[in-house]
């Protein structure tokens, strides 16, 4: 079986695609990529469909070894390089595709610039689908590899054993990963549970992402929200991006692994066009909010889809990464040098 062998897993990477939102009515969280834009760009660089399963990385990346004749990879969403190991290894920039051959060992270090990044492989990571998705949901142990985070010694099965040689591509436009400004929010469905003064302060002040964060949600530090109708409701549905406020008044941004129902009031919902930005948040990052209408949210979603398509359409040709070790094995470099002597 063709695979990437995990020599060192790093910080709990998981296999993710675009998730399983169609089964939330069964009580199954959607899961999927925290940053679907980065996933789509990574997949496009290696020639995959947008939702092919990739490795989602957070905090610290893994060390992997190629156990296939050849693979094509792309690391997207970070400035961290792919560090090829060995005597004649070297760094490969992120946000481009690269072809490695059997036995190549490479490492992805710390993700100091983002909360999440993706390593896509041509053909995708071939684990079984659960409810139509390969995404890992660790709390219920479904998807991915045995429903858990990737760990040392795992083999990530690949659909393709050999990839063709072609010009590699790079994503030169990285503005999408640095998008700033307020995160846009549609109020409701329980905004009437909070004082008007609290709501005004929520949109006027700055919040900070805390270390109380995982794939389920991020707790924020900042002005607390004052409940005026208590802090419990009859449990109702939750969507990705919902802003839930428990009794302590500290808002929680709910992410891909959110519960499907909950009993705390929700001030509002981050629009789907801005949800990818939530996945990129690191502890200590500041965030501000802006109220928008549903109509404005729909326009923003269409704009995001159009801009992502333009970014992919404008990929540039990447310079070659020379596998010097392979050249020496085939005696190509030494032969040229010998002729010149």
110-136 residue pLDDT tens = 999 999 999 999 999 999 999 999 999
**CATH number for the domain formed by residue range(s) 182-300:** 2.40.100.10
At how many degrees (to 10) do helices 36-45 and 294-313 cross?
Answer: 20
Examine the pLDDT at 329 and tell me if it is beyond 60.
no
Pairwise CA distance, residues 319 & 281, whole Å: 31
The structural domains of the chain, with segments of one domain joined by +, span 3-172+315-335, 182-300
Share of the chain above pLDDT 90, in %: 88
| Start-to-end C-alpha separation, the chain | 44
pLDDT at residue 333, rounded to an integer: 47
Q: For residue 335, what pLDDT band results from cuts at 50, 70 and 90?
A: very low
| CB atoms inside a 10 Å sphere around CB 337 | 9
Question: What residues have CB less than 8 Å from 33, skipping those under 6 apart?
Answer: 16, 17, 18, 19, 39, 54, 56, 116, 118, 135, 256, 279
* Residue 17 to residue 200: CA distance in whole angstroms: 37
Q: What is the pLDDT, as a whole number, of residue 180? A: 83
pLDDT (tens digit per residue) in 58-105: 999 999 999 999 999 999 999 999 999 986 678 999 999 999 999 999
Percentage of residues in the chain with pLDDT exceeding 70?
A: 93
The tens digit of pLDDT for each residue in 146-155 reads 999 999 999 9
Does residue 341 surpass a pLDDT of 90?
no
Q: What is the pLDDT of residues 225-259, one digit of tens each?
A: 999 998 989 999 999 999 999 999 999 999 999 99
Please give the pLDDT value at position 34.
98
How far apart are the C-alpha atoms of 64 and 152, rounded to whole Å?
Answer: 10
Per-residue pLDDT tens digits for 16-52: 999 999 999 999 999 999 999 999 999 999 999 999 9
Distance between CA atoms of residues 219 and 132, nearest Å: 30
């Amino acid at each position: 079986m063709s695979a990437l062998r995990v020599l060192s897993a790093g910080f709990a990477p998981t296999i993710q695609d675009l998730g399983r939102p169609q089964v939330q009515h069964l009580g199954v969280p959607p899961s999927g990529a925290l940053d679907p834009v980065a996933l789509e760009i990574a997949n496009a660089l290696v020639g995959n469909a947008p939702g092919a399963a990739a490795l989602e990385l957070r905090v610290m990346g893994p060390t992997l070894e190629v156990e296939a004749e050849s693979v094509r990879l792309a690391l997207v969403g970070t400035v961290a390089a792919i560090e090829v190991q060995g005597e004649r290894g070297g760094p490969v920039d992120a946000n481009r595709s690269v072809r490695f051959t059997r036995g190549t060992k490479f490492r992805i270090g710390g993700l100091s610039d983002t909360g999440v990044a993706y390593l896509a492989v041509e053909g995708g990571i071939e684990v079984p689908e659960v409810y139509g998705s390969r995404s890992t949901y660790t709390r219920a142990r479904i998807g991915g590899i045995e429903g858990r985070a990737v760990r040392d010694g795992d083999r990530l099965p690949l659909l393709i054993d050999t990839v063709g040689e072609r010009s590699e591509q790079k994503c030169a436009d990285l503005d999408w990963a640095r998008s700033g400004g307020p995160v846009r929010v549609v109020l409701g469905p329980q905004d009437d549970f909070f004082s008007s003064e609290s709501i005004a302060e929520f949109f006027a002040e700055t919040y900070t992402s805390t270390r109380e964060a995982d794939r389920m949600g991020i707790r924020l530090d900042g002005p607390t929200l004052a409940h005026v109708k208590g802090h419990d409701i009859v449990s109702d549905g939750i969507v990705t991006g919902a802003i839930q406020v428990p009794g302590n008044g500290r808002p929680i941004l709910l992410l891909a692994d959110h519960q499907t129902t909950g009993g705390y009031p929700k001030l509002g919902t981050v629009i789907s066009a801005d949800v990818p930005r939530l996945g990129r948040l690191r502890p200590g990052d500041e965030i501000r909010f802006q109220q928008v209408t549903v109509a404005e949210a729909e326009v923003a979603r269409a704009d995001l889809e159009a801009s992502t398509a333009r970014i992919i359409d404008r990929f540039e040709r990447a310079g070659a990464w020379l596998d010097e070790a392979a050249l020496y094995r085939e005696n190509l470099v030494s032969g040229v040098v010998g002729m010149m002597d």
